[in-house]
Structures are given as structure tokens and as C-alpha cells.
Amino acid sequence: MPMLPRTVAAAPSYRNPRLLLLLPLLALALSTPLSGEERGGSTAARLQLDLGILASDDFEGRGIGTQGLDLAAEFIAEHFAKSGLQPAGTGGDAFQPFQALDRTELAEPNRLALIGPEAGLRIDVAHGSSFQTCSFGGSGSIVAPIVFVGYGIDSQTPAFDEFADVDVQGKVVLILRRVPQQDRQDGLFSDPHTGGGRAAELRTKISNASRRGAAAVLLVNDGYTGQSSSEQLKAQLQKAEQDVLEAARALPAVGETPPGDVLQLLAEKSAHLRRIQALIAADDPDPLIEFGYGGPTREDAIPVIHIRRSVADLLLKAATGESLASLERTIDETGKPASRLLDGWTADVETAVHAKMVDIRNVLGVIEGSGPLADETVVIGAHYDHLGFGGDGSLAAGVHEVHNGADDNASGTTALLELARRFGGRNGESRRRLLFIAFTGEERGLLGSAAYVNSPQLPLESTVAMINLDMVGRLTDDALTVFGAETAPQWNDWLDEPAAKQSLKLVKKPEGFGPSDHSSFYAKRIPVLHLFTGVHSDYHRPTDTAEKINYEGLERIIAFTEEIIERTATSPDRPTYAEVAGRAELARSGSRPYFGSIPDYSSTKKGYVLQGVSPGGPAEQAGIQAGDVLIKLGDQAIADVNDFDLALRRFSAGQEVDVVVLRGEEEVALKVTLGRPRG
């Protein structure tokens, strides 16, 4: 490709007066010399300066719709230019603009009526109490027949298609949440790795219906998750009350001093009882989805409404003579779909969901190659967006504070800037082109990387690899996780020597698909690597701040990445794409009870190693700490995170479970009162 023309980016419009205070600091950062040790002192000092700016409050958490996100884009573009990169955006500058959803707002009107076959039979359902419009659905007004499609699943493995024998074109479909046979260890969708996997995801169900032409979706909670959880809580309450009575019987007569062990036991049992009572007080076995849960809508989304089970029961009994619970039992017992048209019944649906769009930008800079490899491209990427002031995606519920995103992903962006500096001054080498991309919209579903691969600035067929830096700022015990390690056979040899030089202990994960921007490239059959130092207790919370970054570790990861890029850019043979089944995940979901642990995916130790515990969660309340290795849950030995996930599903909310953790060399026995499932 010919050299891309270089232009000076237009100065940003700083409408927020607080951002003006940052300009002297930006000028200092951008005036830093860029060659040798004259580049402003130590590498660590440069990293602290760049990351401190990106993760400052003045950048407003780099959320979509904030001025801070625009400021970050300008900051990165100027750094690319200062490092000698040529602008590689769509308009001759450094930017690839596209539109994204800022937020979804609930408008008016929103109504639902169920119309029966008899004249005048119309049931108006109350918005807010008996149904709720879903933010991930669209706006529309539909009057159409209703079809029950069970759990809305279309699966090849296992073979289970609930749309096969019904016509949903132009109709309103009634869909259960989650999956059938949840109470069985050998159930159709009981894979311990996924707990139902993509079949259980709301967007998968909506997509299945939409692809077949459904006009709208009525979601309803499955019976197992809510009802069984409530019943289990009541059973746990009775047991906890009995335990307190038993402990109290050991107290001596009035006037006598009770033994310390008796008092301690009574205190423990009483505390457990109070936790159960709190869970029951907050319990709703059939909660409506709050507007905003599940993220924003899409432009082409069909209306989605969440109804109470009592509303679904009313409809199903009138149309089929069977209750929702009865149909669920039929599916569970037969292992087959029970989809059917609800003869004579029509839904009158109207939803009003307003999608507010905003312009956002990827930032692209290129270093041209030379020699016979010059027309091939290596992409180095990191996303620079985060969660703004919280909301969707935040793990600090109800908090409106700046989510600084120092590790996620100011750390990866800072590494990207440093790598641009290091490669920007090299000339005359026989190597492939290097394309540096700072992606936006990753937190909203890999929007920036999807926008790039759908409208690439450089041909994807000549793009030989993508190297992704996402959350690389919390190196602990020298352990660096590398996802995508088997997406090209060359990676294994190319990774080990650079890691040894930097005293890094690599934890190689084979999968090319995962929850970051490399996934978009792997879907285009491009070999990928994703570098990652692990989830922690500050993940997606306002407490992910710059002072918690391991800058010395970040510097070593950058040096490691620099050598991987160099090998990828100069090797006579390009990395060879290899297909790897499966998808790497950083979190699990489903109907298991809530434990409140944060796994350490980088550890190779036997057991379930904890990076941290969720603040206020059951694990923290029980005294479990970051660094503990859980080796036993109930009577089940735990060898890894998958053992833990499978074992946890055997228990219920409110149940007090014995756990054993390794803390250093010591085994510590604790008791955890499990919480209700999340989501």
C-alpha cells in the first residue's frame, strides 16, 4: 500500500471547563522526547504520566457520550503523530468514526393487552407492575397471534430446536428465560463450563426469534430459578432458626457465666439466621427485568417485553388448559420442545424505546513496512474506552461515580502508546507494516474492532496477526495470561524466549474467541494473541485507579510484547491460522447461587485460586480473602474453576456451605451463606 498522507488532527472542542485544567499536563506529555533514554527519563515515569492522564477523573471514565472519551481520542492521536506514525483513518486523519448507542431511554406509550377468541375478551396488563419493556428491545406497535416457543432455543449440540415445528413469522412469541432441566446434573444444557452457555443468553433467544421473523417477544422467568430459590430460602430459614434454638439450649441457667465456646456458637448461628432473614426480606421469586438490564437496544431490534409468570399462566391456561409450570415439566420430562400456537389469542403490544446515538472514533496510526513483506500487516490494538460514570456494565450497583478504568483499559492503551514510540523511530528494516489501533466501544460489545473488520483500512487477507492488550496493569507473581496461544502454531515458540527474558510466567490459553477486541479479528480467520494480567476486586468499579497499577510489571509486559511484534513483523513466514474450538470467558453466569469470588485465571495451582472477593458478597462475609485457594466446597474436592462451578450448582441460595481454603500452607475451614443467583 502507498504511504498514507499525513494531516494534522483538528483541535478538539473542550466544552468542559475542568478539562482545560488538563491542557498543561497534556502539553508536557506530548512534548516528551521520544528517542533513547532522552525520552523523558525512565520508561516507568512515562507510563505513569500517560496512564495517569488517561485514568484521571477529568477523562470522565472514557465512557461513550462523555467529553472525556473525545479527549482521550485526541490525546492518543497526538501521541501517534509524535511517535512518527502516519494517520490511517478514513478521512486522511487518524480517526475511523462510526455511530454507537449512547443509551436507551424509556419513552411513552408502553402497553400490553391479551385478546382472547371470545368477543370482548381483553386483558390489559399493567406496565411497571405486571410487565416491563426491555431496554434491549425496540419500539413498535403490533397486534399479532401468540406462539409459545418454550425457552426459545435453537441448538445443534445438543439437538434442540424449539422453532422447528411452529411458524413464528409476524407473530408474538412467548419465551422462557434460561434452559430446561436445570435441576439435573445430566441435563441437556448442564455443561459445567457454561451453565447453559449461549442458549441461555437473552440476546441469543431474541436473535433466534428475530431471525425467524417474529414481530415481538414476551419474556417470562423460568420457574426453577425463582420458585425453587424461594422454597430453598424458606427451608434454610427453618433450619437456621432450629440451629439457634439448639445453640441456645446449651446456655447455662440465669446467673451463671456461659462458656466461651457456647457463646461463640450461638453468635455464629444467630449471624447466619440474620443473613437468611435479610435474603428473604429482599426476595421476589418472579422479579421483572429492570429497564436498562441487558444493555441498550439496536436499530433493528423487535419489541421485547418481560411479563410476570401470573400473566403467562392466565394466558396459557385459557389457551391450552395447561399452566406454565406444567409446560415446563413436560419439556423437562420429555427432553423435547413443547412449542405451540396459542389458538385464538392475540397480543396487542406497543413499546416506546428511544435510542440515543453518538459519534465515536477508533484511532489508527501506521508504520509502513519495507522490502518483500511490506504489503502484509500486523495489527496491535487496545481499547481506550471504559464505563464513564457507571451504569450498564458496572459492578458497583447504583453508583454514579467516575469509573477510571486504570487497568481496564488505560493500561493496555498506555502500552500501545509506548510500543508506538518504540517502533516509530525505526526505519529501513525489512518487515511487515504495523497498524496501531486504539479501539472504542469495547465495553459495549467490541464495537470498535467490529467496525474496523467490517470496514478495514487495510486488507484483512493481508493482515497476518492481531495482538491485543487488555488489562495488563496488575501483574502479580509474574503471571501473564496469553489467550489465543494455539491460534497459530508459531506462537508457542515465539512466546517462550521473550517471556523468559522478562521473567514472565506465561499461562497459555488456546482460545481465539473471547471477551475482547481480538475476537473480532479471529472471526475473520486471523491469528490472535490477547495479553491479560487477570480480573481483580476493582474490576468495573470506581476503585480501578492509577495508583494500583504495577508499573514495573507493565514495563516488562511491554518489552515482551515488543519482541513478539518484532518476530511477527520480520519472520519470513506469516503466522498460520489455526481453528480452536471454544471461547474464553472471564465470568460465568446462570442460575447457580451467588458466591462472590473473583477467579485468578492466570494461576496454574491446583484448586480454585481467588484473585479477590466481591465487596460485601458471601465469600467476603465468610472471611475468604484474595489469594486463597479453595480446595473443597461441601464434600466436593475442587481442582479448578470448572470443578467449583459444577459443585456450586448443587447448592441453593441461603444454604450454609462448608469450604476449605489454602491460605499459604495452612488449611482454613470456613462457612459461606450463599446468596441468590445474579442476573
Three-class DSSP labels, 362-381: EEEEEECCEHHHCCCEEEEE
Q: Which pLDDT band holds residue 600 (cuts at 50, 70, 90)?
A: low
What digits encode the pLDDT tens for the residues 293-331? 877 777 678 999 999 999 999 999 999 999 999 999 999
Average pLDDT over residues 97-111: 90
**288 closest CA partner among 106, 144, 114, 115:** 106
So what's the pLDDT on residue 3? 31
* 605 or 659, greater pLDDT: 659
- Long-range CB contact pairs, 445-449, < 8 A, 24+: 445/295, 446/516, 446/517, 446/519, 446/520, 447/98, 447/100, 447/360, 448/360, 448/362, 448/383, 448/385, 448/517, 449/381, 449/383, 449/517, 449/518, 449/519, 449/520, 449/521
Q: Is the pLDDT of residue 598 over 90?
A: no
What digits encode the pLDDT tens for the residues 492-546? 999 999 999 999 999 999 999 888 999 999 989 999 999 999 988 899 999 999 9
DSSP string of 544-586? Answer: --GGG--HHHHHHHHHHHHHHHHHHHH-SSPPPP----SB--S
Q: Is the pLDDT of residue 9 over 60?
A: no
So what's the pLDDT on residue 644? 86
Q: Is the pLDDT of residue 14 over 60?
A: no
Cα distances from 398 to residues 285, 389, 595, in angstroms, run 22, 10, 20
So what's the pLDDT on residue 201? 84
Distance (Å, whole) CA 525 – CA 548: 36
Average pLDDT over residues 420-442: 88
What digits encode the pLDDT tens for the residues 107-146? 999 999 999 999 889 999 999 999 999 998 999 999 999 9
Average pLDDT over residues 629-643: 85
Q: Is the pLDDT of residue 194 over 60?
A: no
Distance (Å, whole) CA 134 – CA 218: 10
* 203 or 276, greater pLDDT: 276
What digits encode the pLDDT tens for the residues 350-401? 999 988 889 999 999 999 999 999 999 999 999 999 999 998 788 887 789 9
pTM: 0.67
Q: Is the pLDDT of residue 159 over 50?
A: yes
User: Beta strands 479-483 and 528-532: pairing type?
Assistant: antiparallel
Q: Which pLDDT band holds residue 585 (cuts at 50, 70, 90)?
A: low
**324 closest CA partner among 346, 309, 342:** 309
**415 closest CA partner among 384, 440, 387, 441:** 384
Q: Which pLDDT band holds residue 2 (cuts at 50, 70, 90)?
A: very low
So what's the pLDDT on residue 6? 27
* Least confidently predicted of 255-264, 497-506, 599-608: 599-608
In sequence order, the β-bridge partners of residue 671 are 658
Mean pLDDT of the chain: 88
